Amino acid sequence: MDIDPTKILVRYNVQKEKAQTPDQMAAEMFPKDEPAKSIAKAIFEGEEDDVIEGLEKAIEKGANPIKLIDDVLMPGMKIVTDLYDQGVVFLPNVMMSADAMLEGIEFCKESAGSAPKPKGKVVCHVAEGDVHDIGKTIVAALLRSAGYEVVDLGRDVPVDEVIAAVKKESPMMLTGTALMTTTMYAFKEINDRLLEAGIKIPFQCGGGAVNQDFVASYQLGIYGEEAADAPKMANAILAGKGLAQLKDMFHKH
Ligand code: B12
């Protein structure tokens, strides 16, 4: 008996999966305009030199290097993480792309030249036990580019070290990043230890492991959905906003 398999129930994306290679899927997601398109392609391919070349061209044509981080590098990286989430590309690809993007961020920061006197100091860290530091690096880069001095404690930072750094540096705010659900509880501990020491600075926490409900469950916690929320919050603190007002601004009701 002749059976035409396409007439039987076929999972809606099976044909699509077979019809397209990862490169083709990515190509459909790249921005349409140059230089964003070439730079996104270079990030996808993990080609650092091409990322820098694209950025150089854009800056020569008058683009603001700091805006390029937000408008071009981050959306380029998002294509790779979206494809990772769909199971189209794998971790080594993500790593190569992330390296290329981080090189790009460094280049943009250097091209932006020397910063004026810092507006304030921020301590950034990745939770104890967690090595995922790409988001934190973006947060630190955006804060620096917005004129803040950043004390970057790095990744997998023990709670004791975070508390010691806050006592030493007296920052206007602290940031935490956690991508693993097993590491996020360190934030609550940091909150309790800061309060015990009488330190009431806003503690903005982000990364895939945490959500607003979790972060709002501790007194100093303010949820940060995107890296760009960090300089926004620093600016709000400078404008005199207190903890309650910050929660109001950054938490969805
Ligand atoms: C790259 C990656 C790695 C790299 C990390 C390299 C590095 N230097 O960071 C490597 C290969 C090392 C790695 C290792 C592991 N990984 Co991994 N990894 C990822 C991956 C694919 C992407 C993460 C990433 O960088 N995203 C891009 C950045 C830009 O996003 P982001 O950090 O979330 O930051 C954004 C926002 O959240 C926000 N943000 C972040 N922090 C903050 C802070 C503030 C203040 C604000 C305002 C905003 C903000 O701003 C950013 C942009 O707007 C994710 C999958 C995923 N889709 O997330 C898995 C993932 C995070 N990994 C996972 C796991 C399990 C591991 C391993 C345990 C694997 C293993 N079995 O060995 C190890 C962990 C080892 C350890 N002890 O930490 C799981 C975590 C599961 C969970 N929920 O607990 C994930 C979710 C994959 C999965 N679906 O299972 N990983």
Instruction: Report the nearest-CA residue for atom 6 of ligand 1.
Output: 132
Q: Rounded distance, CA 142 to CA 253, Å?
A: 26
- Output the pLDDT for position 227: 83
* CA distances, 184 to each of 128, 136, 228 (Å): 8, 14, 21
Ligand 1 atom closest to 182 (CA): 84
Residue 152's φ and ψ, nearest 5 degrees, are: -95, 110
User: Across-strand partners of 125?
Assistant: 176
Ligand 1 centroid–CA 2 distance in Å is: 49
Digit-coded pLDDT (tens) for 126-181: 999 999 998 898 788 778 766 789 999 999 999 999 999 999 999 999 999 999 99
Phi, psi of 173 (to 5 degrees): -160, 165
pLDDT digits (tens, 9 = 90+) for 38-57: 999 999 999 999 999 999 99
DSSP 69: I
Atom nearest to 226 CA in ligand 1: 53
CB 174 within 8 A of CB 162: yes
Q: Distance, CA 134 to ligand 1 centroid (Å)?
A: 8
Distance 207 CA to ligand 1 centre (A): 8
Q: What is the pTM of this model?
A: 0.76
Q: What is the Å distance from ligand 1's center to 178 Cα? A: 8
Q: Is 116 left (phi over 0), alpha (psi -120 to 50) or beta?
A: beta
Q: Which residue has the higher pLDDT, 99 or 157?
A: 157
CB 44 within 8 A of CB 76: yes
Task: Quote the crossing angle between the two packed helices 36-45 and 48-60, to the nearest 10°.
Answer: 160
pLDDT in tens, 236-249: 999 999 999 999 99
Looking at residue 203, the DSSP 8-state letter turns out to be: E
Q: Whose CA is nearest to atom 82 of ligand 1?
A: 180
Contact 139, 206 (CB under 8 A): yes
The per-residue pLDDT for 1 is 58
Write a three-state SS string for 142-200: HHHHCCCEEEECCCCCCHHHHHHHHHHHCCCEEEEECCCCCCCHHHHHHHHHHHHCCCC
Tens digit of each residue's pLDDT (9 = 90 or more) over 61-93: 999 998 898 889 888 988 987 888 788 988 788
- Residue 86 confidence (pLDDT): 85
Closest of 113, 117, 139, 116 to residue 126, by C-alpha? 139
Q: Ligand 1 center to residue 3 CA distance, Å?
A: 45
The residue contributing the CA closest to ligand 1 atom 60 is 179
109 close to 65: Cβ distance less than 8 angstroms: yes
CA of 233 to the centre of ligand 1 (A): 23
pLDDT in tens, 184-239: 999 999 999 999 999 999 999 999 999 999 999 999 999 999 887 998 999 999 99
Pocket-testing residue among 179, 185, 237, ligand 1, by greatest number of atoms within 8 A of Cβ: 179
Choose the residue to mutate in 78, 132, 249 for probing ligand 1, maximizing ligand atoms within 8 Å of C-beta.
132
Query: What integer is the mean pLDDT of 103-124?
Result: 84
- In angstroms, what is the span from residue 208 Cα to ligand 1's centroid? 7
Question: Please, which residues have CB within 8 angstroms of residue 4's CB and are 6 or more apart in sequence?
Answer: none
CA distances from 231 to 58, 82, 117, 154, 247 (A): 24, 25, 16, 18, 15
Q: Which atom of ligand 1 is nearest to the CA of 223?
A: 47
- Read out DSSP for 108-133? HHHHT----S-S-EEEEEE-TT----
Mean pLDDT along residues 18-35: 88
Mean pLDDT (whole number) for 17-25 = 79
Pocket of ligand 1 (CB under 6 A): 81, 84-85, 91, 94-95, 98, 129-136, 138-139, 175, 177, 179-181, 204, 206-209, 224, 226-227, 229-230
Ordered domains of the chain (ranges, CATH): 19-111 (1.10.1240.10), 121-250 (3.40.50.280)
| pLDDT tier, 253 (very low <50, low <70, confident <90, very high otherwise) | confident
Instruction: Compute the distance between CA of residue 15 and CA of residue 38 in angstroms, rounded to an integer.
Output: 28
C-beta of residue 187 within 8 angstroms of C-beta of residue 203? yes
